[in-house]
Amino acid sequence: MTPEPPARTRQAPTLEAVAELAGVSRATVSRVVNGSLRVSPAAHAAVTRAIAELGYVPNQAARSLVTRRTDTIVLIVHERPDTVFADPFFASVLRGVNQALSVTQLQLVLLQVQGDRQRDRALRYVGNGHVDGVLLISLHGDDIMPMSVSGAGVPLVMAGRLLTGDPVDSVDADNVGGARQAVRHLVATGRRELATVAGPVDMSVGVDRLAGYAQAARDAGLPASATRVETGDFTEASGQAAAARLLAEHPTIDAVFAASDLMALGVLRALRAAGRRVPDDVAVVGFDDAAPAVYADPPLTTVRQPVERLGAEMVHQLLRRIADPTGDAASVILPTELVIRSSA
């Protein structure tokens, strides 16, 4: 019995095979694969059909040599792991980023950075040409990362501005205006002994929300003695601790503006522990309109910021910067909205 010849291994379709099926040159197929606009609509359609029919997959390594693109961007979250996974803000940003990337060919890498060692490792990764651009969230103080990324020639977009004042592409919510809305609402409902649990003063979001609080209090004619400040780190525990300090030192306060919803939840816990009724004795307003705000007891009045839109807009701005590396840095400020519920 004659043995059967071994089965032939199916060869992966080549660029030449796509060109032959589409009836175009190899160069035309290459231009379509690499995203060039110098292709007629008819040729582009023919090549696209041929790629689908043959199941052709571009050689990414070879393509990268030609385009000097990796089709990868990195989202760097400069924060502690417990904060990243506990705060709904980060999940909402990530949803917005993924939504914006879903209509592109770009892949996303997520890096969580805490401390100099992890930061330096992330900078080496970015500087070694692994990504086409960087999205940076939750920067603290005068960290060198933004200027190091920009110095390496890698496009960068930040969530929030740099406290140093250096120009950088950024997207942010109207933190100052949102805090003003919160205070105006508290004053309009008759509150006069206000306090705030501010965010970290080494972050632009913390600085800006505190500035909005202070501006609105001055505009309302409230004396400094009627506006007390404690600081938290955007966590529920820090909000509870800050509110406990406020109540111990200033027992007559009748309203608290917390610079995040998680800190506002901590404020509610501290008020319950102290036997204070919300909003009868003390009104509470948060910032974010994160999912837990609706289920708080009582439901939380808060300033809504469009977090998913922020993530998506960061991607759009990064794509514009990748396409046009020159030009002045741009800052996008997204609107905020006061959402009134039972807590104030």
Query: What CATH number is attached to the domain comprising 22?
Result: 1.10.260.40
- Considering the domain architecture, whether residues 165 and 312 belong to the same structural domain is answered as yes
pLDDT tops 60 at residue 2:
no
- What torsion do the CA atoms of 133, 139, 142, 143 make, to the nearest 10 degrees? -60
d(Cα 127, Cα 145) in Å, to the nearest integer?
11
d(CA 322, CA 151): 15
137 assigned to some structural domain:
yes
Q: Give how many domains the chain has, as a whole number.
A: 3
Q: Does residue 196 sit in the same domain as residue 256?
A: yes
Residue 339: inside a domain: no
Judgement on whether residues 158 and 245 belong to the same structural domain of the protein: no
CA atoms within 13 Å, Cβ hemisphere of 343: 31
Same domain, 292 and 314: no
More confident residue, 295 or 123: 295
pLDDT digits (tens, 9 = 90+) for 262-290: 999 999 999 999 999 999 999 999 999 99
Q: At what angle do helices 204-219 and 175-188 cross, to 10 degrees?
A: 40
Lowest mean pLDDT among 48-62, 71-85, 316-330: 48-62
Give me the domain span that covers residue 42. 15-67
pLDDT confidence band for 7 (50 / 70 / 90):
very low
The reply to whether 219 and 264 lie within a common domain is yes
The answer to the question of residue 4 being in a domain is no
> Rounded mean pLDDT of 148-167?
86
Sort residue 141 into left (φ over 0), alpha (ψ -120 to 50) or beta. Answer: left
Indicate if 168 and 313 belong to the same structural domain: yes
Shared-domain flag, residues 51 and 93 = no
Q: Are residues 240 and 316 in the same domain?
A: no
Q: What is the mean pLDDT of residues 118-129?
A: 84
Predicted confidence at residue 259, as pLDDT, reads 97
Provide the pLDDT for residue 3. Answer: 53
